[in-house]
Amino acid sequence: MDPEIQFQSQPNKQQHFFEEDKNENILYKQKLNDYNFIQIPPNFEEAEKHAFARRATAPLNLQPFDSNNMESSGAKVHRECPCCSYNIDRKELSLFCDTYDLRFLGSGFPLFYNYIIWCIYLCLAYLFVCGGQELYSNYQGNYCQAGGETYQPEACRNSLFNLLSIANKKHDDQAIEFSNDLNTIMLVVLMIMMLLFRRSQNKLTEDIDKDLVTPSDYTVHVSNIPLHQKELKDLFRKNGYNPVDITLVYDSGYVSTLQKNLDSTLEKYQELLGNYGLNNLHDPKRPIEIKDSQIEIKQNLMRQGLLIREIIRNPEFFSGQAFISFDTEQDKARCIENNPLGFCDQIKYFKNELQKPITDSSRSPNEIYWNDNKLVIQEAWEPQDVNWEGIHTSEKDRFIGKIKGYIIGMGIIILCGAAVLALSVYQMYHLDDVAENGDITPQESLQIQLLSVGVSCLINGLNMGVQMVLPYIVSLESPDSRSQYNASYAVKFSFLSFVNSALLTLLITVYFTKNYYGRGGFIYTQTIVFLQNIIMTPMMNVLNTDWIQKRYEIRTLKKEVEEGQCTLTQQQLNQALEENQYNQAERYSDILNTMWLTFFYAPCIPLGIICTIVNLILVYWTDKLNLVKMCSVKEHLSHKVSQEMIELMEYIIILYCIGNYVFEMQITGYHDTQSLVMLGIGLIYTFAPMQWVSDKLFSSKDNNETMTYTEAVAYNKFEIDYNQANPLHSQFIKAYQAYQKYKEFQNDEINAFEELEVYKKSQI
């Protein structure tokens, strides 16, 4: 039932929200201040502080703010942004800082740059083991000798791209056999390096976990739980645990609807202020339209408070999930270990049938049950990593969303394939016309080359189009965390762009054009793609047009505020001054697609390895420049994204084996058993549990925190906790604080913030 309908049906009834003790209630845990998120005119200096706090700037290690402490001891204290609760006492990072210094953003950021470095290592290993020799032996070949003004469709032209490709040593079986021997050695090197790659990432994760204290160190994510916090605390205490903080998860979709209504009211109010000016904003003789609009704003704020209060009171809107923090990390580890979720449990959980076994003897004495439901207890994500808008979605709805995403993805592949095929067929017919004439003019030669460049540009353009559609596809899955969102985005974009860049062009060449090494052929087009990759991403990182546009917008807004003409709210100005958000998913997917493409084509076009090495080095520095100087960071990404990306990176092994077999067979016509054996080994490695193998080969120890949760809070180790990150809680506090500014305009019979006002007075 719509909560609005519920409380609208009893407008004169005094609603009482706090059924538990005040100290237990989640809304009282929010920090109260005088921040008014809809303040007009806004404070530009406060907005600048907020924007600086959301950049990739390192927080200073200061003591929690305490006015008595300031007066008595003069100790340095940290100040929080009233908007987002982030520490505003921060320092900028240098472009040349150690990437380990980025750990305060989450382990996902140092791991990302270590990921790029290892990708460079993999490419360098290929270049030294067999890439350099392949370039040399290809260039020493003598197959590609065609030239002159006569066009021969089947002839291999002596262009530089062809001379450095496998096509130039066609019919040279001895050279191909030697290359196969080196490729086999390279396969072994790749498998060893991927294990070392995993070890490097795991070791970095352990070091960061040891140095960094975060809420997730003490917290578990629990599903199938009761509504009331007090009952939940008692349940865990009865089972031998000591929960110190609980954040319940609710379906907050209705709040978004009310926020849109408030935004609409504010927009009308801002139009009025634009017409009448800001001078008479609080004048008793201000125009009646402004008075009415201010009253309407207050009513919207009241409705938000009522709605949030109703959602928290009504079990119908509880998602059955919570984040439970224990006082020690040992308690958390013991809780997860004693409540494993087996394969059968996962199936039952998906079907919402995770009920108690028929006989009590079949259940473990350490497992926690609530009535007939087994609690699902898992590792918690960081507060900033939780996708609060999607976490309450059921597993069935997520499954349906994934099916829809797959259908849309298949449609994209078909459309992209049709576009590339159409241009390739046009190119093929044009080449046939040239072949009939025999002689080729300089204009026709240029046109053929432009068509090849057009195909490569079309591929890059299609990939950019896919990038625009993907956020919608991933949102259909309603992932629990931003890390899951980033991993899903990277997987899908890497796959779709690899299909566009590699598989479609290869299939079209094999089954339609048959043009491997002629003018504008397969080798020419793919080499152009590699050359474009060298400069495109780094250039877009350096020529950050969004950042340049943001500078102009900030100057304009500052001038409007100084002249008293800015009608933006404080929250709108805060958001306007934020830098554009850093998107790690796009970075991962670009790198992953580049690596897949490189190793798939490496046996055919070894020049691509050199292009990729240059590209990755440029990407490393230009992306780091973007992060530390030009972007805001709102995601505290975990190591799980990196783990998923390593799993996907291991596909380079099977792609390398497939590429070696396919291009030898299609271009040189050479067949041997060695390539098939390599293919078999690659398949086995791809589907082997390599994370388990890595754990067995490289032992690691758990770094349990010696500091308790209570001590971490006292020493200000957490920049933000789960209650502060929960938008339902923070929106209630924002609405309350803004409501205070409009109190003079109307007296309401129902006061959604009555108890909170009493509580605030009691703290003074």
In a domain? residue 200: yes
In the chain, the number of structural domains is 1
Give the mean pLDDT of 315-327: 84
In a domain? residue 88: no
Instruction: Collect all residues with Cβ–Cβ distance below 8 Å to 101 and sequence separation of at least 6.
Output: 58, 93
pTM of the predicted structure, to 2 decimals: 0.84
Confidence band, pLDDT 50/70/90 cuts, at residue 473: confident
Q: Nearest to residue 18, comparing CAs of 249, 230, 319? A: 230
Which has the minimum average pLDDT: 447-456, 567-576, 599-608, 619-628? 447-456
Q: What is the pLDDT of residues 151-208, one digit of tens each?
A: 455 677 778 888 888 888 887 888 888 888 898 999 999 999 999 999 999 999 888 8
User: Which range among 203-207, 302-306, 387-391, 482-486 has the greatest average pLDDT?
Assistant: 203-207
Return the structure tokens found at 602.
């490496």
In a domain? residue 2: no
Return the structure tokens found at 231.
């009952």
pLDDT of residue 128 exceeding 90: yes
The residue segments making up the domain with residue 132 are 99-213+392-688
Q: Nearest to residue 190, comparing CAs of 660, 733, 632, 534? A: 660
pLDDT for residue 638: 80
pLDDT for residue 763: 39
Distance between CA atoms of residues 700 and 114, nearest Å = 19
Return the structure tokens found at 325.
């923090």
In a domain? residue 126: yes
pLDDT for residue 65: 43
pLDDT for residue 438: 56
Confidence band, pLDDT 50/70/90 cuts, at residue 440: low
Look at 390 and 705; give whichever has higher pLDDT: 390
What SS3 state is found at 310? helix
Q: Nearest to residue 486, comparing CAs of 571, 415, 591, 414? A: 591
Percent of the chain residues topping a pLDDT of 70: 77
Q: How many CB atoms lie within 10 A of CB 669?
A: 10
pLDDT for residue 356: 46
pLDDT of residue 584 exceeding 80: yes
pLDDT for residue 69: 47
Q: Nearest to residue 586, comparing CAs of 662, 672, 487? A: 487
Determine how β-strand 243-250 pairs with β-strand 318-326. Answer: antiparallel
Give the mean pLDDT of 373-380: 83
pLDDT for residue 452: 65
pLDDT for residue 540: 83
Phi, psi torsion values for 148, nearest 5 degrees:
80, -165
Q: How many CB atoms lie within 10 A of CB 491?
A: 19
pLDDT of residue 257 exceeding 80: no
SS (H, E, C) 643-685: HHHHHHHCHHHHHHHHHHHHHHHHHHCCCCHHHHHHHHHHHHH
pLDDT of residue 618 exceeding 90: yes
In a domain? residue 589: yes
The label of the residue with tokens 């392949």 reads 134
Look at 524 and 553; give whichever has higher pLDDT: 553
pLDDT for residue 531: 85
Confidence band, pLDDT 50/70/90 cuts, at residue 122: very high
Helix then strand count (H, E) for the chain reads 29, 10
Q: At what angle do helices 639-649 and 584-601 cross, to 10 degrees?
A: 20
DSSP string, 695-749: HHHS-------SS-HHHHHHTT--SS-HHHH-HHHHHHHHHHHHHHHTGGG---S
Look at 229 and 142; give whichever has higher pLDDT: 142
The residue type found at 719 is E
User: Which range among 345-354, 444-453, 517-526, 591-600 has the greatest average pLDDT?
Assistant: 591-600
Give the mean pLDDT of 478-505: 83
Instruction: Collect all residues with Cβ–Cβ distance below 8 Å to 415 and sequence separation of at least 6.
Output: none
What SS3 state is found at 253? helix
Instruction: Collect all residues with Cβ–Cβ distance below 8 Å to 434 and sequence separation of at least 6.
Output: 151, 440, 444, 448
Percent of the chain residues topping a pLDDT of 90: 12
Instruction: Collect all residues with Cβ–Cβ distance below 8 Å to 245 and sequence separation of at least 6.
Output: 29, 324, 325, 709, 721, 722, 723
Which has the minimum average pLDDT: 134-143, 405-414, 665-674? 665-674
pLDDT for residue 541: 80
pLDDT of residue 682 exceeding 60: yes
Give the mean pLDDT of 226-234: 69
Q: Where are the beta strands (DSSP E) in 564-627?
A: 580-581
pLDDT for residue 749: 43
Upper half-sphere CA count for residue 123 (Cβ side, 13 Å):
27
In a domain? residue 275: no
The residue type found at 10 is Q
pLDDT of residue 354 exceeding 60: no
In a domain? residue 732: no
Look at 695 and 752; give whichever has higher pLDDT: 695
pLDDT for residue 689: 84
pLDDT for residue 347: 52
Q: How many CB atoms lie within 10 A of CB 536?
A: 15
Residue 340 preceded by cis peptide, ω within 30? no
Stated as kind and residue range, the H or E segment containing 321 is strand 318-326
In a domain? residue 47: no
What SS3 state is found at 565? coil
Burial class for 82, CB neighbours closer than 10 Å (0-12, 13-18, 19+): buried
Task: Compute the mean pLDDT over every residue in the chain, rounded to the nearest whole number.
Answer: 77
pLDDT of residue 306 exceeding 90: no
Look at 263 and 187; give whichever has higher pLDDT: 187
The residue type found at 215 is P
Helices marked H in 141-228: 160-163, 173-211
Give the mean pLDDT of 451-477: 76
Q: Nearest to residue 167, comparing CAs of 501, 508, 679, 515? A: 515
pLDDT of residue 32 exceeding 60: no
Give the mean pLDDT of 78-86: 77
Q: Nearest to residue 129, comparing CAs of 606, 631, 743, 572? A: 606
Q: Which residues of 392-409 are buried (b: 16+ CB within 10 A; e: fewer)?
A: bbeeeebeebbeebeebb
